[in-house]
């Protein structure tokens, strides 16, 4: 027994010497939209020529619907207003950019109701052109994606209830084609992204059901397949984007249809078919925000956090990884370390409902994700090895390396 303890201690010391730093990433507040721009939810957002766009949207109070268009220049950290969108004012619509043009459509207008029109925006001339409307049920809250010369429309809410149909628009021929329906339950307000040769659609809700399933469509073979569900509660009404071959979902509301306590952020890797928890954005989760990706930075704007509609702008830089030294002995998160069957959190970290614990292996894979109310974290069943032990409390993550000496 003594020999085993000495070996564990020796391996742990070697681990500390070899891995002296942990990585964290942070959100940065950028320039808020101008005074003339109203705070809103459900903005249509997209990126063209290295600049971010915010158009249309609506308010949570008085249900005011917009048709203004704003452009953000990251090199100047400034906003400018463009000519008004020529279509109907709307909320619950979406925008997407593809091959130098942007596309905006669908949504809800307070006078007309649900919409099914489609518009193209040319950033070079700053002009809009109306394209053929979808020969489908008018809708709000759909999935709306662009992929290899095509636009894809799936699910959504309508006057007939939630939908399950799936459509493809050929940008060159300007023709709509109905495809095999989305294989999951009917829903609206999903999350979605395109990765490589596929488009992914999932989450969202219908009636009392809020989902965490995800499905992948293969345009080449015209088939759907289910991929890994989110290893957390279902969610609805957030935003999403694709970056370097991975899909990301950001913010929104949980299974109680209330804002998350923190601005949850998840990464999906199609190679491993796994989800990874990312650093939450500041504040509570927000209902129906928008986002746009510019180079290695994603920008989050608008939506409805706990305090109501906003028009702020936050930036997360994937390329800017700060290095933080391992927690020193006077700031330990738990004990003992090395550990065998369990660890006990420091008393200052114990929060009856909201102390979240995650353990990742050397490859970054999450092998444990749970909440602790009594400060005890059960390690039984976890193989011997070196891990990163993370604790999140009130939106802040703290990291510490741990050696688990499994039986």
Task: From the options 1.10.3720.10, 2.60.40.3080, 3.40.50.10490, 2.120.10.10, give the CATH code of 2-24+329-404.
Answer: 2.60.40.3080
Count other C-beta atoms under 10 Å from residue 136's C-beta.
18
Q: pLDDT tens track of the chain, all 407 residues?
A: 445 554 445 444 444 444 433 334 589 999 999 999 999 999 999 999 999 999 999 999 878 999 999 999 999 999 999 999 999 999 999 999 999 999 999 999 999 999 999 999 999 999 999 999 999 999 999 999 999 999 999 999 999 999 999 999 999 999 999 999 999 999 999 999 999 999 999 999 999 999 999 999 999 999 999 999 999 999 999 999 999 999 999 999 999 999 999 999 999 999 999 998 888 999 999 999 999 999 999 999 999 999 999 999 999 998 874 433 333 334 567 888 888 889 888 766 665 455 778 888 766 677 888 877 778 889 988 988 888 888 876 556 677 888 888 65
The residue to which tokens 């001339």 are assigned = 125
- Report d(CA 13, CA 2) in Å as an integer: 17
The answer to whether 118 touches 131, Cβ cutoff 8 Å, is yes
Residue 388 phi/psi, 5° resolution? Answer: -100, 120
Structure tokens at 123: 């950033």
Name the CATH topology of 27-317. Answer: Neuraminidase (2.120.10)
- Report d(CA 146, CA 95) in Å as an integer: 10
The SS3 assignment for 207 reads coil
- Report d(CA 232, CA 250) in Å as an integer: 13
The answer to whether 177 touches 166, Cβ cutoff 8 Å, is no
Angle CA 327–328–329, to nearest 5: 125
Distances (CA, A) of 384 to 1, 321, 342, 344: 16, 29, 13, 18
Outline which parts of the chain fall under CATH 2.60.40.3080. Answer: 2-24+329-404
Pairing of strands 355-360, 366-372: antiparallel
Outline which parts of the chain fall under CATH 2.120.10.80. Answer: 27-317
- Report d(CA 285, CA 238) in Å as an integer: 8
Count other C-beta atoms under 10 Å from residue 39's C-beta.
18
Residues whose CB falls within 8 Å of the CB of residue 73, separated by 6 or more in sequence, listed in order: 51, 79, 80
The confidence score (pLDDT) of residue 388 equals 83
pTM for the model: 0.76
Structure tokens at 324: 């933080």
Structure tokens at 335: 């004990």
85 secondary structure, DSSP code: P
Annotate 238-251 with DSSP letters as a single string. Answer: -EEEEETTEEEEE-
Structure tokens at 279: 């650093």
- Report d(CA 278, CA 398) in Å as an integer: 13
Distances (CA, A) of 370 to 25, 81, 248, 356, 359: 22, 45, 21, 6, 9
β-strand partners of 404: 339, 385
Longest alpha-carbon distance in the chain: 78
Among candidate residues 55, 201, 72, the one with its CA nearest the CA of residue 120 = 55
CA dihedral 213, 219, 224, 229 (to 10 degrees): -20
């Amino acid at each position: 027994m003594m020999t085993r303890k000495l070996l564990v201690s020796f391996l742990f010391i070697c681990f500390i010497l070899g891995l002296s730093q942990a990585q964290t990433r942070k959100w940065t507040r950028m320039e808020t939209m101008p005074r003339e721009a109203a705070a809103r939810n459900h903005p249509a957002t997209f990126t063209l020529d290295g600049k971010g766009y915010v158009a249309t949207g609506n308010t949570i109070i008085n249900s005011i619907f917009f048709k203004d268009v704003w452009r953000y220049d990251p090199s100047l950290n400034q906003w400018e207003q463009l000519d008004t969108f020529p279509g109907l004012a709307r909320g619950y619509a979406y925008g997407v950019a593809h091959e130098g043009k942007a596309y905006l459509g669908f949504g809800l207008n307070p006078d007309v109701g649900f919409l099914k029109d489609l518009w193209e925006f040319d950033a070079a001339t700053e002009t809009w052109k109306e394209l053929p409307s979808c020969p489908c049920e008018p809708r709000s809250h759909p999935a709306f994606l662009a992929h290899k010369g095509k636009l894809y429309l799936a699910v959504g809410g309508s006057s007939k209830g939630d939908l399950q149909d799936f459509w493809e628009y050929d940008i060159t021929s300007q023709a709509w084609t109905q495809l095999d329906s989305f294989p999951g339950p009917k829903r609206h307000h999903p999350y979605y992204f395109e990765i490589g040769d596929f488009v992914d659609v999932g989450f969202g809700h219908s009636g009392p059901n809020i989902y965490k399933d995800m499905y992948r469509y293969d345009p080449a073979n015209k088939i759907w397949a289910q991929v890994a569900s989110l290893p957390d509660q279902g969610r609805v009404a957030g935003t999403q984007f694709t970056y370097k071959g991975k899909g990301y979902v950001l913010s929104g509301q949980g299974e109680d249809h209330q804002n998350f306590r923190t601005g949850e952020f998840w990464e999906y890797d199609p190679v491993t078919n796994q989800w990874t928890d990312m650093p939450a954005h500041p504040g509570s989760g927000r209902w129906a925000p928008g986002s746009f990706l510019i180079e290695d930075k994603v920008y989050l704007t608008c939506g409805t956090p706990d305090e109501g509609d906003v028009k702020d702008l936050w930036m997360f830089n994937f390329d800017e990884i700060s290095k933080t030294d391992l927690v020193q002995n006077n700031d330990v998160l738990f004990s003992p370390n090395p550990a065998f069957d369990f660890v006990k959190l420091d008393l200052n970290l114990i929060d009856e409902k909201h102390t979240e614990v995650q353990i990742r292996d050397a490859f970054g894979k999450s092998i444990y994700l749970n909440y602790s109310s009594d400060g005890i974290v059960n390690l039984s069943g976890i193989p011997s090895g070196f891990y990163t032990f993370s604790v999140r409390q009130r939106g802040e993550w703290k990291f510490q390396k741990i050696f688990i000496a499994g039986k």
